[in-house]
Copies of this chain bind each other. A is one copy, B any other.
């Protein structure tokens, strides 16, 4: 059993196991070590996972049988679960609540050896569309404040169990502290300038050009000015949009294209790197007091992609850990040169 506890100093939330059996809920789906034969995520092995929440599949095929393109299942040992009361309570200075929420897995492909960089454009679009569908559905639960979509690839990125390509979705009853940091920054800027900070940033980067990796009509891929990690990339909509689910048809195709191209670049420059990819979306649009009140105007969703190629991304020392400083050995402008130079031909 887990409970959410809030640190009274910083306001960060921790998921604490309170029943003392020391069994940690799994961040990753548990499975065998990944040969195709035993892989629970491969087509034909649908009976080895929990029943699916939904799937995109060929006409005439049935749930939990072959014929799917993208498949969404509950995490078998969820970190947070919908079947408890919120139970907000205090104890002197301390605040806590039950670990309500959702924890799902999106199996991105029926093929054991496909991933973002070698998926078809159609498949990439289906994956992104599945993100949208789950976000829209989970935002209906008014107890939940935020939906996190992320993907870990490779052991150094925290993906310890199943190598078959998958993303995860975690919905939480509080807004995560790192999201609050961004919201605080963008709100401050909006109050000062009446403009979205990300929109201004995009205009400046497109105009400067030196940190732009790639772009199409509606999306931009750049290495941020203060990149924390070598070859860190952000993918942003050029048009102002606070919620990922506001994206419309043609935009989804454009995003899929830029996604695929970005991951081909990273794959070729860094030789199949472990990475984390995370959607930074606006909090769920529940009316509430707080810093994200005006977020339709001041927040701008985007993906952050962090290849895990240096020590500092895995083994953080007390310095980085305690201070929040990062040390990036590769100048962002140099990373851009390398990524741009990649041939996108097969």
Chain A positions near chain B (C-beta within 8 angstroms): 5-20, 22-25, 27-28, 79, 92-94, 148, 150-152, 155-160, 168, 170, 172, 176-179, 181-182, 185-186, 189, 197-198, 200-201, 204, 208, 224-228, 276-278, 280, 304, 306, 310-311, 314-332, 334
Query: Which residue from B94, B316, B323 sits with its C-beta under 8 Å from A158?
Result: B316
A280 in contact with B317 given A18-B331, A186-B9, A226-B12 (CB within 8 Å)? no
Chain B contacts for A325, CB-based, 8 A: 12-15, 172, 176-177
Closest B residue, CB atoms, query A323: B176
Given the known A-B contacts A94-B225, A319-B168, are A25 and B150 also in contact in the complex, defined by CB atoms under 8 Å?
no
Are B318 and A158 in contact (CB-based, < 8 A)? yes
Chain B: minimal CB distance from A320 (Å): 8
Chain B proximity of A224: nearest CB distance (Å): 7
- Which residues from chain B contact A17 at a C-beta distance below 8 Å? 327-331
**6 extra interface residue pairs, beta carbon distance < 8 Å, beyond A6-B226, A158-B311:** A14-B227, A20-B331, A176-B324, A178-B324, A179-B323, A276-B317
14 contacts between A and B (CB under 8 A): A5-B225, A12-B228, A13-B226, A15-B326, A16-B226, A27-B317, A27-B320, A150-B319, A155-B315, A158-B320, A172-B323, A176-B323, A177-B325, A178-B322
Q: A278-B321, A324-B176 are in contact. Are A7 and B226 (CB under 8 A)?
A: yes
CA distance A280 to B9 in the complex (A): 12
- For A150, list chain B residues within 8 Å (CB): 317-319, 322
Bound Cα distance from A224 to B8, whole angstroms: 10
Q: Are A317 and B158 in contact (CB under 8 A)?
A: yes
Query: Mostly helix, strand, loop or mixed at chain A's interface?
Result: mixed
Q: Name the CB-closest residue of B to A185.
A: B9
By the criterion CB–CB under 8 Å, are A156 and B16 in contact?
no
A15-B185 contact in complex given A321-B306, A323-B176, C-beta closer than 8 Å: no
Task: Give the residue among A5, A28, A156, A330 with the most B Cβ atoms within 10 A.
Answer: A5
Q: How many copies does the complex hold?
A: 2
How far, in whole Å, are A179 and B319 apart by their CA atoms in the complex? 12
Give the Cβ gap from A178 to chain B, nearest Cβ, in Å. 4
- Pick from B176, B200, B326: contact of A12, CB under 8 Å: B326
A-B pairs with lowest CB-CB distance, top 10 = A158-B317, A276-B318, A176-B323, A150-B318, A278-B322, A177-B324, A24-B329, A178-B324, A7-B226, A5-B226
Decide: A92 and B322 in contact? CB cutoff 8 A: no
Q: Which residues of B contact A310 (CB under 8 A)?
A: 24
A200 and B155 in contact, given A22-B329, A186-B9, A319-B170 (Cβ under 8 angstroms):
no
- A320 neighbours in B (Cβ, 8 Å): 27, 158
Per the bound structure, the CA–CA distance linking A328 and B17 in Å amounts to 6
In chain B, what residue has the closest Cβ to A25? B327
Contact A317 B159, beta carbon cutoff 8 Å:
yes
Q: How far is the CB of A87 from chain B (nearest CB, A)?
A: 16
Considering the complex, give the chain B residue whose CB is closest to the CB of A179: B323
